[in-house]
Homo-oligomer: A and B are copies of this chain.
Amino acid sequence: MADAVTARADDYSQWYLDVVREAELADYSPVRGCMTIRPRGYALWERMQDTLDEMFKETGHENAYFPLFVPQSFLEREAEHVEGFAKEVALVTHSRLIESEDEDEGGLVPDPESELGEPLVVRPTSETVIWNKYADWIQSYRDLPLLINQWANVVRWEMRTRLFLRTTEFLWQEGHTAHATREGAEEETRRMLEVYRTFAEEYMAMPVLAGVKTASERFPGAVDTYCIEALMQDGKALQAGTSHFLGQNFAKAFDCTFANQDNEEEYVWATSWGVSTRLIGGLIMTHSDDQGLVLPPKLAPTQVVIVPIYFDDDQQADVMDRADALLEELSDAGIRAKLDDRDTQRPGWKFAEHELQGVPVRLGLGPRDLENGTVELARRDQDGKENVAQEGLADTLADTLADVQQGLFDQAKARREERTRVVDDYDAFQEAIAEGGFVWAHWDGTEETEARIQDETKATIRLVPLPGEAEREPGEGMLSGKPSEGRVLFAQAY
């Protein structure tokens, strides 16, 4: 098991796949680019869902469910939207299989008589089906704001896929809100960005920078796309969440108006925002190491595992009694603890497995611990073990878990700072990008320069920082020398 994971320094991509496989998080499926999320991976997603869902409800949102299928004509109603998605859609064209009439061919084929009048698109995102309904539901300013979220699967026919990070089908949430005013919608867009930032930093222990995308990186159909960006251990950026101000684009496409307080008809203002199972990829690449998965305690399905140690039946009875009592004590204190009572494996093997699977704290409990009133505690984020008292163990562990959580964040933040450079000229820029990491540099604001930089360095503008997010001083674009209002953030990205 010790050699199950390739070292990051040897082959980062292989290391990532090894961690996903060995921690039993996910698996490819026979369908191109689709994944199977295994129970350990799904338990992580459930923790993320529960946390986010509570945050969404606290900010006034309700959940609903809209159909999987989008009529092709809906997608076409918003010009930029369809342009953005037309090349990567799964199209349903038939509704029945029949025996092939071609005797050589044999087997089943789509029944030509079941061909649909209009192909259906498996939703790549749901703005269109949702705004079609909002046009029915919204009549007056009294119906606004309408604050709805959906947990769903979506499909984008990606050419190159990687487990969690980019898959043809993925799970996500998509918030879709409707507002009476531009200000209301813009405020919502930024509020949800802050919800994502809080989730990323306080739960995932993953530091992020927040900002606005340039036009070329904007969501198809959005006026502004806000994002949070994190830096992975290999120096590549990961877009971890986006929140879009959609203006009145979708309201106009679906003729969604409301009577304002003066009884005048106006188009509704819109936002949408989403995070996906991609976050699990970000979580892995932020904290994990050459020993396998590392999980922040707030999201770890199991926070503490107790491994009993004994050499004969008498010892086993005593140790198991004590272990059961400790488990109950920890569970009562709200700690997600498990007792690993499998008698098919030795303690050392169990310790190694739980390390590989990222359990934040492992406790060993043997005959000597019973005598001494101690347990042996190993933290996943540090080497070594220490003996701690059984007395007050729940309090000790609550402190330890909080310390692990903060430690992971601090470590990730220090790593990001270390790999963030501020550069002034294009030579230094190219060098910095080649080394990997975030690079702050001046850009003249044109799409041409942005495209040329991407061509030459594979770096994209991750964001234009929000006010207060980074110091902004005017300067000159690296390539053109034309004026820049302030540095923007570049990196190669997943």
Q: Quick check: B94 and A171 within 8 Å, CB to CB?
A: no
Identity of the chain B residue whose Cβ is nearest the Cβ of A136 in the assembled complex: B27
A468 contacts the other chain (CB 8 A): no
Considering the chains assembled together, what is the distance between the CA atoms of A142 and B343 in angstroms? 12
Considering the chains assembled together, what is the distance between the CA atoms of A121 and B82 in angstroms? 24
Q: Quick check: B98 and A89 within 8 Å, CB to CB?
A: no
Considering the chains assembled together, what is the distance between the CA atoms of A30 and B136 in angstroms? 12
Identity of the chain B residue whose Cβ is nearest the Cβ of A63 in the assembled complex: B42
Task: Tell me the chain A residues, 56-71 only, with Cβ under 8 Å from chain B.
Answer: 62-71
Q: Quick check: A92 and B95 within 8 Å, CB to CB?
A: no
Report the stretch among A3-11, A32-40, A265-273 that lies at the interface. A32-40
Closest CB-CB distance, A362 to chain B, in whole Å?
21
Pick from B89, B136, B171: contact of A65, CB below 8 A. B171
Q: Quick check: A68 and B34 within 8 Å, CB to CB?
A: yes
Assuming the contacts A36-B64, A43-B63, asked whether A108 and B71 have C-beta atoms less than 8 A apart, the reply is no
Q: Quick check: A120 and B31 within 8 Å, CB to CB?
A: yes
Q: Quick check: A42 and B30 within 8 Å, CB to CB?
A: no
Q: Quick check: A69 and B34 within 8 Å, CB to CB?
A: yes
Q: Quick check: B31 and A69 within 8 Å, CB to CB?
A: yes
Considering the chains assembled together, what is the distance between the CA atoms of A157 and B136 in angstroms? 26
Q: Which of A27, A74, A93, A132 has the most CB of B within 10 A?
A: A93
Q: Quick check: A36 and B66 within 8 Å, CB to CB?
A: yes
Q: Quick check: B94 and A93 within 8 Å, CB to CB?
A: yes
Pick from B39, B66, B86, B88: contact of A63, CB below 8 A. B39
A259 contacts the other chain (CB 8 A): no
A289 contacts the other chain (CB 8 A): no
Closest CB-CB distance, A284 to chain B, in whole Å?
17
Q: Quick check: B95 and A35 within 8 Å, CB to CB?
A: no
Identity of the chain B residue whose Cβ is nearest the Cβ of A98 in the assembled complex: B86
Closest CB-CB distance, A166 to chain B, in whole Å?
15
Q: Quick check: A64 and B91 within 8 Å, CB to CB?
A: no
Q: How often does this chain occur in the complex, in copies?
A: 2
Q: Quick check: A95 and B86 within 8 Å, CB to CB?
A: no
Q: Quick check: B86 and A96 within 8 Å, CB to CB?
A: yes
Identity of the chain B residue whose Cβ is nearest the Cβ of A53 in the assembled complex: B46
A191 contacts the other chain (CB 8 A): no
Q: Quick check: B93 and A91 within 8 Å, CB to CB?
A: yes
Considering the chains assembled together, what is the distance between the CA atoms of A127 and B34 in angstroms? 16
Considering the chains assembled together, what is the distance between the CA atoms of A91 and B115 in angstroms? 10
A263 contacts the other chain (CB 8 A): no
Closest CB-CB distance, A176 to chain B, in whole Å?
12
Q: Quick check: A27 and B71 within 8 Å, CB to CB?
A: no
Considering the chains assembled together, what is the distance between the CA atoms of A90 and B93 in angstroms? 8
A344 contacts the other chain (CB 8 A): yes
Task: Tell me the chain A residues, 7-34 only, with Cβ under 8 Å from chain B.
Answer: 27, 29-31, 34
A129 contacts the other chain (CB 8 A): yes
Considering the chains assembled together, what is the distance between the CA atoms of A93 and B115 in angstroms? 11
A222 contacts the other chain (CB 8 A): no
A133 contacts the other chain (CB 8 A): yes
A153 contacts the other chain (CB 8 A): yes
Q: Quick check: A39 and B148 within 8 Å, CB to CB?
A: yes
Assuming the contacts A74-B30, A91-B93, asked whether A64 and B42 have C-beta atoms less than 8 A apart, the reply is yes
Closest CB-CB distance, A373 to chain B, in whole Å?
33
A-B CB contact pairs (8 Å), 22 listed? A27-B133, A27-B136, A29-B129, A36-B64, A36-B129, A37-B65, A37-B66, A39-B64, A42-B62, A42-B63, A45-B65, A46-B63, A68-B155, A72-B97, A76-B107, A76-B108, A88-B95, A88-B96, A89-B96, A91-B95, A94-B119, A95-B157
* Contacts beyond the supplied A39-B63, A82-B97: 5 A-B pairs with Cβ under 8 Å: A38-B64, A42-B65, A43-B63, A45-B65, A152-B153
Please name the 4 residue pairs, one residue from A and one from B, whose CB atoms are nearest each other, closest first. A34-B67, A39-B62, A37-B65, A86-B97
